[in-house]
Structure 1
Amino acid sequence: MTSPIKIDIWSDIACPWCYIGKRHLESGIAALGDAAPAVEIEYHSYELSPDTPVDYAGSTVDFLAHRKGMPVEQVEQMLERVTGIAAQAGLSYDFDAVVHTKTLKAHELLHFAKEHGLQLELSERLFRAYFTEGRHVGRIDALVELAVEVGLDADAAREALESGRFGPAVQADIAQAGAYGIQGVPFFVFDDKYGVSGAQPAEVFSQVLTQIAGEREGAAA
């Protein structure tokens, strides 16, 4: 039996395009139907704004206007556009409710979840909590609650976060991104061979998977 196609994804919970890209990848796989190859997906850490405080006091518009040096009106137009694209992917973004925070602990929790086979479930839960529910994903108490919702043990999750023992794994992911030359997320690496940057349309992901599956068949023939 052929091994699954490995898909490594660098992303940040606070990245709106990463959630959209996740949906586009899932749609691209689903579109192949019975012809879809088996895949193994792993998420890797990337902090878009590592200097963000855990408790940021401003709105999304404040955050982006300050960080990107953009006029408020331009930021509002950009958020409206992203919200529309997210809606087309079946996602309900609520930027007015988003609580900006440092995402380091969320990344540590994703590594903990990977150890327990629940990384994909936690990734989806964190994105939804951040972009649609306005949950605070920077505080340990809030993260433990979300961990429990996907089936992780509360005490073990809290110990992992309070000890910071997955901090080196997060930094290793970020270092690997640098080695690959990744300067923005989402970034998808297929079978350590092909890189896809950004929240590309579902058809792009379908094409890449079909191409890799075809190459594997050719090599095996």
Structure 2
Amino acid sequence: MKIEFFHDVICSFCFPMSNRMRQIVKKYPRINVTHRSFALGWEKEQFIQMFGSHEAVKPEVLNHWEQANKNDDLNRFNIEGMKEQDFLFPTSKNGLKAAKAAGMLQGQDAYWEVFDAIQEALFINNRDISDIEILEDVISQTSLDLDAWKTQFNKPETEQAVLEDLNLVQSYGIQGAPALVIEGKYLISGAQPKEVIEETIEKIAKEEGLQLTGLQMMGSDADACRVVDGNWQCD
């Protein structure tokens, strides 16, 4: 089963959703997740359009954090710590490019590793993840080679790949993050409970004839040898 996971590094509800999706992929190993960018505030101009000023974003967003922390199964948000920070709320651009660069270097697992690390830096450690030096420090603590990541981050193709994801958001008609697009035609919107996601995935798998675990039997059983109670047994 192919799932496109649309999320933003500054998206508070994407934080608990990423944790749930990791559990779901562990349970259903035949799910293939592709990570996609969704920008809630690509640059400060978008914040100004939405909130009136960049300064107005943080107080409003901290209210969202309160709700997201209730949604998070682990209640990991450090809301009081964020209130004490004096930087303006981060924009999406650099964080999304950072995760995309990781994925372009080492694939989807690396993208996910970096995405989660960036979100932890913001929501738990209250760091300004739009700051390049902070992003470099975050990357240095992952499995990626920092110099290789820097080179990829600065390539025009990396930003272009993020913009292509944002175009796909428009093409699919996705209105918010997080969002899961399954097999290019089913949408799960928002940070749904893990049980709801699993039920939906299993229903889609049944409708589409997709295998979520194990191997699908083709044809019928034929003669074979196997080990039973420590002994060989052949048909």
Specify the TM-score bucket, using the shorter chain as the normaliser.
0.7 to 0.9
| Separation (CA, whole Å) in 1 of partners of 2:124 and 2:118 | 10
Between the two structures, name the one with larger relative contact order (CA 8 Å, sep ≥ 6): 1
Give the match for residue 7 of structure 2.
Answer: 11
| Separation (CA, whole Å) in 1 of partners of 2:179 and 2:80 | 26
Are 2:21 and 1:25 equivalent residues in the alignment?
Answer: yes
Using the aligned pairs only, state the percent identity: 22
| Separation (CA, whole Å) in 1 of partners of 2:154 and 2:175 | 29
Are 2:86 and 1:92 equivalent residues in the alignment?
Answer: no
Tell me if structure 1 keeps the 8 A contact 2:9–2:119.
yes
Are 2:100 and 1:111 equivalent residues in the alignment?
Answer: yes
TM-score, structure 2 length as denominator? 0.73
Q: 1:35-59: per-residue Cα shift (whole Å, max 9, x none)?
A: x351111211111022327xxxxxx
Equivalent pairs, count = 197
Gaps of 5+ in 1: 54-59, 69-74
Deviation at 1:76, TM superposition (A): 6.4
TM-score, structure 1 length as denominator? 0.77
Give the match for residue 63 of structure 1.
Answer: 57
| Separation (CA, whole Å) in 1 of partners of 2:29 and 2:207 | 12
Q: 1:56-112: per-residue Cα shift (whole Å, max 9, x none)?
A: xxxx994255xx6xxxxxx766543332222xx114101343452122111112111
Tell me if structure 1 keeps the 8 A contact 2:65–2:77.
no
Equivalent AA in structure 1 for residue 194 of structure 2: A
Counterparts of residues 39-188 of structure 1 (less than 5 Å) = 39-52=31-44, 62-65=56-59, 78-86=64-72, 89-98=73-82, 100-115=89-104, 116-117=106-107, 118-188=110-180
Give the match for residue 222 of structure 2.
Answer: none
* Change over 3 Å in CA distance of 1:96–1:61 after alignment to 2: farther
User: Per residue, is there more helix in 1 or in 2?
Assistant: 1
Tell me if structure 2 keeps the 8 A contact 1:29–1:205.
no
| Separation (CA, whole Å) in 2 of partners of 1:126 and 1:49 | 16
Q: Which of 185, 194, 206 is equivalent to 1:214?
A: 206
Deviation at 1:19, TM superposition (A): 1.1
Give the match for residue 193 of structure 1.
Answer: 185
* Change over 3 Å in CA distance of 1:38–1:97 after alignment to 2: same
Give the match for residue 57 of structure 1.
Answer: none
Gaps of 5+ in 2: 46-53, 219-235
| Separation (CA, whole Å) in 1 of partners of 2:117 and 2:137 | 11
RMSD (CA atoms): 2.7
| Separation (CA, whole Å) in 2 of partners of 1:178 and 1:62 | 27
